[in-house]
Structure formats: structure tokens, C-alpha cells
Amino acid sequence: MPEHSHQLAAILFADIVGYTAMMQENEEVAVEKINRFREVVELVAEELNGKIIQYYGDGSLLLFQSSTDAAEFAKLLQEDLQNEPRVPVRIGIHMGDVLVHSGNIFGDVVNIASRIQALAPVGGIYISEMVYRNIANKKELESVFIREEKLKNVKVPVRIYEILTAGSQPFVHHPASADEPLITPTLAKSIAVLPFANLSSDPEQDYFSDGLTEDIITQLSKIRAYKVISRTSVMQYKNSPKSIKQIGKDLGVALVMEGSVQRHGDQVRITAQLINAITDEHIWADSYDRPLIDIFSIQREVALAIAAVLNTTLSHKETRELDYIPTSDLQAYDYYLRGKLLMENRNKADLLTAREHFTQAVSLDKTFAIAYSGLADTYLLSSFRGYEDPVMTLWQAKKHIDTASSLDSFSGETQASLGYWYFQSFDWHAAEITYRRSISLNANQSNVYLWLAILLQAKGEHEEALKIYDMGAEINPMWDFLLKNKIIALVNNNNKEAALELQQKLIDKAPSGGQLKRKRYEELSRLYWTFNDKEEAIAAAKKSGDLGLIKFYTDGDHSLLEKRMDDHYNNFRLRSEYISQFWMGLDYAHAGAREKALECFNNAIALKEAGIALLLIRDFEFLNIKYLSMALITRKVKQLINF
């Protein structure tokens, strides 16, 4: 080696922690430990072509020709020093250009490696991003991102990773306050993708930015190591003034992605950044200026970039799924996005419009499997919610499910649709199997957790249903449909306090002064009523402003509630709209009109309406109906079902 030379090298600092205190406490033991430390350093360095530049008291400085050699040395050293007599060591590694002069080394690389080493925990190995990038594909050198750090005398913040060893302690962020959550490596891979901002001049393009948000969520959820929050929960943060830290806390995630999209003709510009929701540090950012036809490639690249920065090794199956392109027709994709977003609203008008969009999508691309699934779901939701005649809708749904299955039999979305069809066709044995298969194919479908939990509730498996609700709430913690049904499960499992607490959360998140807030107080009053707490029931009913409910609680008179329903359904008849006997019966049961409710339920059973399955679940909102009155009804329903 020349006396003066520049070279690219990996620089490693290793330091014994607490050596001075050891010497003061027991000099003989301290000397034994430093001798053992140096002996292992020399042995392993020789094996991996490491050059010991110097020992400095209780530490050492080494040079390696590659990051891999340095990382392997560090891992072997730490694992050996975990054996007795144990030596507490921390290690830091950085790579870059160094000046070698007369056996010594100089340069910023040395300074940075030293600073990184000082941050490492006892038994830990901290490395810079430069080193991480060189070992990212080495399975035996698994590492995790720790944080971005501003080092002394270093202008640019350095991103720091930790190489995991058998003795590694899970990285835990120590909160600044009791309200700040602990972040472990598992939670560190929980992600919320906030609604991408629409920077286009046309506000009508909101559906495109919202659709892009959902597609990136879908792509990330294909990576099994991640917990990705569903779009339904993140949408409430669209244009929200809340900080990233607060949003992360609300959703129970460590990472938040935000970005923007600008669509202009056949071009699209997308920016995205990943932020640590605990420290507010930016972990990754990138922008993409591409033709619109590259939209699926961009989504894939974003997912792969996140996998790289979080050091996630993808399986062959995950890589194949990320490579999958659902359609090559951008106009069909456009219709699909519009339909998908409208369908989430669950009301009749939006379902029918969504159906038109999905129909347009499959007419443009007859191989667009998930568009056929979406089309089927518009019929299934309409059938179950009593918007249309189930005889017609279930037949149409099955036709589109069969087409989707023939195009992609391994689609989690198609299996979900098939499971829902089985459920509404009263083949619950097949429905449960298919729901679980759907989850195994795509674990980020919160609607499937809801459907499966309802099935289990109706079978009387309340504990298992609650477990499924919790799994759904993990990925969609703000979804009212799921939380409302979970409250019913809690009531039927005699968990009063948890039911009241969850109902209060629904009240708190409803906008102040609006109809939804009043509805939530009405539900709370019925909860108290079912728990025989008349005083609290009346207090909550007053907050809801429901005079009919107050009259029932105080006088036992349900006439106002019943008249409200009479007027509602008379308007339906005047408009010649389809009326579901089950849902009309449910409304009358909630109004305390016992005889009308039971008549409707019997009619619904005769017609085999899909919603009658819910009659097997005790509904705390029923008034004036004892469950003894429902015995014959539930018996008739059970006779229709293949359990």
C-alpha cells in the first residue's frame, strides 16, 4: 500500500461500554474483558480481511474493503462477546472515501463512524445508510431503520440502521410523555397512507387522487410484514389540520405516508414521502413525472421503495403480486376508480351509479377481474341492504363472480364477493371457508372481517366474532359499520363497559351539532335502556333530540316512533319503490311496533330475503320485543341455513 492513498473503505469503531467503571470496581475483571475483546477482534478480523488500524484504550478502529465484510465482522464479534465472560460492546460502521497515510486513516468517514458508534446501545451495531444499501440484500445481515440523526460536525443528517444479532434488544422509542406510544420493530411497520392531495386545476379529479391513495394502500398491503390502515379510516384526514404525530397516534401507526398528484392530459406527476409519526422525521421521499399509462408502475415503485427503506425482504409471491397489472385500459381503470369510491357510501343512489361505472369498465376491458368483482358487490350490497329484489340481484351477482373467478381465481376481492354470495344464499359453511380464504389472499379487506364476524355472531360464536372484529379494527380503526356491529357483539357477550366505551368513541368522532351526532346519542340511549338504566337512557335521548324515544322511555308510548316509520314507508309506496320486508320490520322493531315488526319478519323469511340472517343476532335497539317473541322467527331462519 502506498504511503499516501485514497480508497473506498468501510470504517468500524468498536468500544467497550463502561470500561472505566469496570476498572474502578474490579481491575482484574476489567483487564480480563479487554484482553478477551482484543483476542476476538484479532481472530475475526483475520478471517474477514479486516485491518486493525489502532487500539485506543477500551476500543478499536478497523478498516475493511467492503461493507459486507465489516458487517459480518461486527455481527460475529457481538455474538461471540455475548458468551461468558460477556463483554459489553457497541459498534458503529460507515463507508466512504478515506485517506490512508503512514498506517493511519483520515476523513469524514472516520468521524461519522465514531459518532454512529457512540449512539449504539450495548450489544448493538449501528450502521449508516451507505453501509445499509450495500448489505440490504444479504439475508444473513438483517437490519432495521432506527432514526435520522444530526451528528456533530456533519452538515447532512445521517440515517441510522441497526444490524440485528441473536442478542439484539428490540428498538424501543422512549416517549417524551405518557401519551406517546412505544414503537417496537413490529409496530414500526404499521403504515397509514393519507389521502393524496389533488393539485390538478380540476377539482373533479379528486376521485383520481383518492383512487391512487387506495391503490397504494392495496400495493403496500400485499407485503405481509406490514399493517396498512384501510382507506375508510384515513379519508377523514383529508385536508385535516391535525399534525402527523396526532394522526399516527389516532390510527395507532408508526409511519405515515402523504403526497400529491397532479394529472394533466396524458401526464401525471406524483410526489410521496414517508414520515416517522413518532419523531416527525422524514424517512423517504420521491417524485414521479410519467405518462399516465405508467400509473401502475409508479404504484409498484412506491411499494418497492418503502420495502427497501424498511429493509423488508419480499417473497416471490409478494413480488409477483406487486408486478400484477389489473388492466391495460386507462379509461376502464378510470371508471373502476369512480365505482370503487362511490360503492363505499353504501346508499342506494351511489350503489346504482357505481354499478354503471363498473359496467363501463368491464365493457372496455373484458379481462378486468376486480372490476367484475366490484360489479358483483353492487348487487350483493343492494340485495343485503334491501334496496332491490334479492332474487334478481343475487343471480346477477353470481354471474359476475363467475366471470371474475375465471379471470383470476386467486383474487382476494373475488373470493370475498363469492363468500358474501354464499352467505346471502344461506350456505354459511361455504361462506365461512371462502371468507377465510379471501383473508389469506388479501388480509387488508376490512369488509371481509365485518362479514365474517357477522356470520360468527349469528352462529352464537361471540368470542370468535370479537376476535375477528379486532382484526378488522387493526386495519380500519375508524370504520363506523364495523364498530357499530362490534358494539352489538359486546352487548351480547355481556361486556357492558366496553360497549358503552366504544359507543362514546363513536359519539366523540361524529361532527358536532350534526345529524350523525344525534343518531349516536340515540344509539347510546338504547344501550342504556337495554342495560336497564332508565335515567341515563333518558339523558342520552334528550341529547339526541328524539321526542319519540323520550316519550317511550317516560310513558311507554311508542306511537310517535311508529308514526315516523308509517310516514317513511308510505312515501316509499307513493314513489313505487321496492320495500324490503326485513328492513321495514327492523325499523318497526326499533320503533317498538311489535306486531308490525313480526309480520314483516315472517314475510321476509317467506321471501328468503338475505338480511334475515341478522335476526339470529340479538339487537339491543329493539323496543317492546322480548326475545321469547322471536323464538319462532329464529327457528324458521335457522331451517334455511346450511351451517
The 3-class SS string of 507-568 reads: HHHCCCCCHHHHHHHHHHHHHHHHCCCHHHHHHHHHHHCCHHHHHHHHHCCCHHHHHHHHHH
Q: Is pLDDT above 50 for 308?
A: yes
Give me the sign of the Cα torsion angle 136, 141, 146, 151: negative
Tens digit of each residue's pLDDT (9 = 90 or more) over 497-528: 999 999 999 999 999 888 999 999 999 999 99
- DSSP state, 137? T
At how many degrees (to 10) do helices 581-590 and 559-574 cross? 160
Segment 239-249 shows an average pLDDT of 89
Tens digit of each residue's pLDDT (9 = 90 or more) over 370-379: 999 999 999 9
pLDDT > 90 fraction of the chain, expressed in percent and rounded: 59
| CA–CA dist 284, 273 (Å, integer) | 5
Q: Is pLDDT above 80 for 160?
A: yes
Per CATH, is 4-163 categorized as 3.30.70.1230? yes
pLDDT at position 627: 66
Q: Is pLDDT above 70 for 426?
A: yes
3-state helix, strand, coil in the chain (%, to 5): 55, 15, 30
pLDDT at position 188: 65
- The listed range with the strongest mean pLDDT (63-72, 99-108, 348-357, 628-637) is 348-357
pLDDT at position 175: 45
Q: Are 278 and 256 in contact (CB under 8 A)?
A: no
Range scoring the smallest mean pLDDT among 17-31, 353-367, 451-465, 594-608: 17-31
Segment 462-467 shows an average pLDDT of 93
Angle at 546 between CA 499 and CA 591, to 5 degrees: 75
Q: Is pLDDT above 70 for 595?
A: yes
Tens digit of each residue's pLDDT (9 = 90 or more) over 375-413: 999 999 999 999 999 989 999 999 999 999 999 988 999
Q: Is pLDDT above 70 for 170?
A: no
Residue 85, preceding bond cis, omega within 30 degrees?
yes
pLDDT at position 554: 95
| CA–CA dist 504, 139 (Å, integer) | 47
Q: Are 463 and 479 in contact (CB under 8 A)?
A: no
Tally of CB atoms within 10 A around 550? 17
pLDDT at position 563: 97
Tens digit of each residue's pLDDT (9 = 90 or more) over 99-120: 887 778 888 888 899 889 988 8
pLDDT at position 172: 44
| CA–CA dist 255, 284 (Å, integer) | 11
Angle at 225 between CA 223 and CA 227, to 5 degrees: 90
Domain spans in the chain, listed from the N-terminal domain onward = 4-163, 187-323, 330-555, 559-640
- Asked if domains 4-163 and 330-555 share a fold, the reply is no
Q: Is pLDDT above 80 for 570?
A: yes
Using CB atoms within 10 Å of the CB of residue 643, give its burial: 0 to 12 exposed, 13 to 18 middle, 19+ buried. Answer: exposed
Segment 78-101 shows an average pLDDT of 87
Mean pLDDT estimate for the chain: 89
**181: Cβ contacts below 8 Å, ≥ 6 apart:** 175, 187, 249, 252, 278
The alpha carbon of 8 is separated from its chain's Cα centroid by a whole number of angstroms, namely: 42
pLDDT at position 174: 44
- The secondary structure of 142-194 as a DSSP string is -EEEEEEE--TT-SS-EEEEEE--TTPPPP-PPPSSTTSPP--TTGGGEEEEP
Looking at residue 582, its amino acid is F
Contacts 24+ apart (CB under 8 A), 361-368: 361/327, 361/332, 361/333, 361/335, 361/336, 362/332, 364/329, 364/331, 364/332, 364/335, 365/327, 365/328, 365/329, 365/332, 367/327, 367/407, 368/326, 368/327, 368/329, 368/332, 368/336, 368/407
Tally of CB atoms within 10 A around 447? 21
| CA–CA dist 31, 354 (Å, integer) | 76
Q: Is pLDDT above 80 for 42?
A: yes
pLDDT band at 3 (very low <50, low <70, confident <90, very high): low
Q: Are 503 and 524 in contact (CB under 8 A)?
A: yes
| CA–CA dist 462, 464 (Å, integer) | 6
Of the candidates 386, 385, 441, the residue with the CA atom closest to the CA atom of residue 418? 441
Q: Which three cell numbers stand for residue 1?
A: 500500500
Of the candidates 346, 400, 409, 349, the residue with the CA atom closest to the CA atom of residue 373? 400
What is the CATH architecture of 330-555? Answer: Alpha Horseshoe (1.25)
- Which string of b and e fits 93-127 if b means at least 16 CB within 10 Å? bbbbebebeeeebebebbbbbbbbbebbbebbbbb
Q: Which residue has the higher pLDDT, 18 or 557?
A: 557
Looking at residue 304, its amino acid is L
Q: Which three cell numbers stand for residue 621?
A: 335497539
Q: Which residue has the higher pLDDT, 594 or 239?
A: 594
**3-state class of 411 per DSSP?**
coil
Q: Which residue has the higher pLDDT, 32 or 182?
A: 32
187-323 has which CATH code? 3.40.50.10610
